């Protein structure tokens, strides 16, 4: 009886999971393995929201496997050692893995391949598991390894056929093998995190997806930039952990509808940044543009006010308070908050990116670091002089102040748009600060 291992990483699902599907098709039994990787945990130890979301995603994955006769096998240790150990225990010589282009994932993949081949084992890497279009699958004619400008990338992306989603296995037969319990947040020493954090996992993610595709996606184009409307999908953490397959979402999104097309465009931004990072791993920490950036300022008090949502600009502060409360922010709020830090306070984008990664439940190297660089003018954006004035942004995207009112209760008594300029009302709430810098339009 042949047995193989499926190493789950950030593809925590049974639907449209090419690695799991191949293993179940080709082998009599499989070990669906998740390793609590001590090297990775040491790097993300303060990201309580992601650790908590991960725990519930593992629990839902175990339930999904259980419904098919299987279960999740959990080990704790260095990932390569644990995979090799599990393979030896069950006599498996094939390990299935989703392809991933981050610098860490590629090192993991190389190390696994080397270790397995010295034991005559094989690593099978499955593409288009984490992105819809694999990094490197579409390249510009210039001979460069990635597209640096989004629009031509998007045009090619739209024309590129996406693989057909694979159904979940009907049965998953798992051999006798030891497993640790599915971890809870306390097992991972995850701190308290955000009080209103989303529940992680495939089952929850699929319900959200069904609801999203049943109607709201068609309003996406009109509502995506109005934070008070909550008109975006909120699927980002489920995509980050692979509780949902982006390939399945792309396949099921009707591109002929203008709202849905705008949504597809955002999914393409995700693929776009993954292909940049896969080709230029250095940009996780270094500026994408090699021309020297203007020097950054040191402003610990400004950074502290920004992190706490106490800059005195309600539109900036509402986003930053939502981040602390939910571990998530809508895209428009991320742009406004990021612009304030890098363009107004002139603080290094890496400081902002680290704060986001500590709190964001969808915190993702490619999407976070490259969006920050886009805003900072060091990345793939060609209009590096763009500055978002938080007052104009508020007038345009929160004209009645409903978003700000939701997150700044101390200003809630100010009616309509007045809430955006509390200093004009002459009733600055005792516990809300005056603006820490000046802007046009005050």
Residues in touch with ligand FAD (CB under 6 A): 224, 232-236, 239-240, 266-267, 269-270, 273, 330-331, 334-335, 338, 356, 360, 362-364, 367-368, 371-372, 375
Q: Which is nearer to ligand FAD, 30 or 388 (CB)?
A: 388
Identify whether the C-beta of residue 51 lies closer than 8 Å to the C-beta of residue 363. no
CA–CA separation, 102 and 275 (whole Å) = 10
Token pair 């670091």 is at which residue?
369
Written as six digits, the tokens of 25 are 């098709």
Written as six digits, the tokens of 208 are 């959200």
Min. distance of Cβ 30 from ligand FAD in angstroms?
Answer: 29
Exposed / middle / buried, residue 294 (Cβ in 10 Å: 0-12, 13-18, 19+):
exposed
Q: Which is nearer to ligand FAD, 239 or 394 (CB)?
A: 239
Instruction: Give helix then strand counts, H and E, for the chain.
Output: 18, 5
Q: Which is nearer to ligand FAD, 68 or 240 (CB)?
A: 240
Q: Which is nearer to ligand FAD, 8 or 220 (CB)?
A: 220
Identify whether the C-beta of residue 35 lies closer than 8 Å to the C-beta of residue 75. yes
Written as six digits, the tokens of 38 are 């001590």
Token pair 């603006």 is at which residue?
435
User: DSSP label at 171?
Assistant: -
Q: Which is nearer to ligand FAD, 7 or 267 (CB)?
A: 267
CA–CA separation, 60 and 72 (whole Å) = 10
Beta partners for residue 122, in sequence order: 94
CA–CA separation, 417 and 404 (whole Å) = 10
Q: Which is nearer to ligand FAD, 148 or 360 (CB)?
A: 360
Min. distance of Cβ 230 from ligand FAD in angstroms?
Answer: 9
| Nearest CA-CA partner of 13 in 235, 185, 323 | 235
Q: Which is nearer to ligand FAD, 318 or 338 (CB)?
A: 338
Q: How far is CA 236 from CA 232, 241, 307, 324, 407, in A?
A: 10, 9, 22, 17, 21
Min. distance of Cβ 244 from ligand FAD in angstroms?
Answer: 9
Min. distance of Cβ 80 from ligand FAD in angstroms?
Answer: 26
Q: Which is nearer to ligand FAD, 51 or 92 (CB)?
A: 51
Min. distance of Cβ 395 from ligand FAD in angstroms?
Answer: 20
Token pair 């742009």 is at which residue?
335
Identify whether the C-beta of residue 200 lies closer than 8 Å to the C-beta of residue 237. yes
Min. distance of Cβ 353 from ligand FAD in angstroms?
Answer: 7
Token pair 């010589």 is at which residue?
93
Min. distance of Cβ 400 from ligand FAD in angstroms?
Answer: 21
Min. distance of Cβ 367 from ligand FAD in angstroms?
Answer: 4
Query: Which 3 state secondary structure label does DSSP give 7?
Result: strand
Identify whether the C-beta of residue 8 lies closer than 8 Å to the C-beta of residue 31. no
Q: Which is nearer to ligand FAD, 23 or 276 (CB)?
A: 276
Count other C-beta atoms under 10 Å from residue 246's C-beta. Answer: 23
Min. distance of Cβ 183 from ligand FAD in angstroms?
Answer: 23
Q: Which is nearer to ligand FAD, 206 or 224 (CB)?
A: 224
Q: What are phi and psi of 107, to 5 degrees?
A: -65, -40
CA–CA separation, 252 and 254 (whole Å) = 6
Min. distance of Cβ 386 from ligand FAD in angstroms?
Answer: 12
Min. distance of Cβ 235 from ligand FAD in angstroms?
Answer: 5
Q: Which is nearer to ligand FAD, 325 or 429 (CB)?
A: 325
């Amino acid at each position: 009886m042949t047995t193989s291992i499926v190493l789950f990483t950030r593809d925590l699902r049974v639907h449209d999971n090419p690695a799991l599907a191949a293993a179940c098709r080709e082998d009599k039994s499989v070990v669906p393995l998740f390793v609590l990787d001590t090297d990775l945990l040491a790097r993300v130890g303060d990201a309580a929201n992601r650790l908590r979301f991960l725990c519930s995603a593992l629990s839902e994955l175990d339930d999904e496997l259980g419904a098919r006769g299987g279960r999740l096998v959990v080990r704790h240790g260095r990932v390569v050692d644990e995979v090799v150990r599990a393979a030896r225990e069950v006599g498996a010589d094939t390990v299935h893995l989703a392809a991933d282009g981050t610098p860490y994932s590629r090192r993991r993949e190389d190390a696994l391949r080397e270790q397995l081949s010295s034991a005559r084992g094989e690593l099978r890497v499955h593409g288009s598991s984490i992105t819809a279009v694999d990094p490197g699958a579409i390249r510009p004619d210039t001979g460069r390894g990635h597209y640096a400008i989004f629009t031509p990338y998007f045009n090619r992306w739209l024309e590129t056929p996406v693989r057909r989603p694979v159904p979940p296995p009907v049965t998953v037969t798992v051999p006798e093998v030891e497993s640790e319990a599915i971890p809870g947040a306390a097992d991972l020493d995850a701190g308290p995190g955000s009080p209103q954090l989303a529940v992680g996992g495939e089952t929850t993610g699929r319900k959200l997806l069904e609801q999203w595709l049943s109607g709201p996606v068609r309003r996406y184009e009109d509502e995506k930039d109005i934070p008070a409307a909550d008109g975006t999908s909120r699927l980002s953490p489920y995509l980050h952990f692979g509780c949902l397959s982006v390939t399945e979402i792309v396949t099921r999104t009707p591109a002929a509808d203008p709202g849905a097309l705008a949504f597809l465009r955002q999914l393409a931004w995700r693929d776009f940044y993954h292909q940049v990072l896969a080709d230029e791993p250095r940009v996780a920490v270094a500026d994408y543009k090699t021309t020297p950036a203007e020097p950054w300022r040191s402003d610990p008090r400004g950074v502290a006010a920004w992190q706490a949502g106490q800059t005195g600009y309600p539109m900036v502060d509402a986003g930053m308070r939502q981040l602390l409360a939910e571990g998530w922010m809508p895209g428009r709020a991320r742009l406004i908050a990021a612009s304030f830090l890098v363009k107004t306070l002139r603080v290094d984008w890496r400081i902002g990116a680290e704060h986001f990664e500590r709190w964001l439940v969808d915190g993702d190297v490619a999407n976070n670091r490259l969006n920050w660089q886009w805003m900072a003018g060091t990345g793939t954006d060609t209009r590096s002089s763009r500055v978002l004035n938080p007052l104009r942004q508020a007038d345009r995207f929160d004209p009645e102040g409903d978003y700000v009112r939701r997150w700044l209760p101390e200003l809630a008594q100010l009616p309509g748009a007045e809430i955006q300029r509390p200093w004009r009302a002459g009733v600055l709430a005792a516990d809300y600060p005056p603006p820490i810098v000046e802007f046009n339009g005050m």
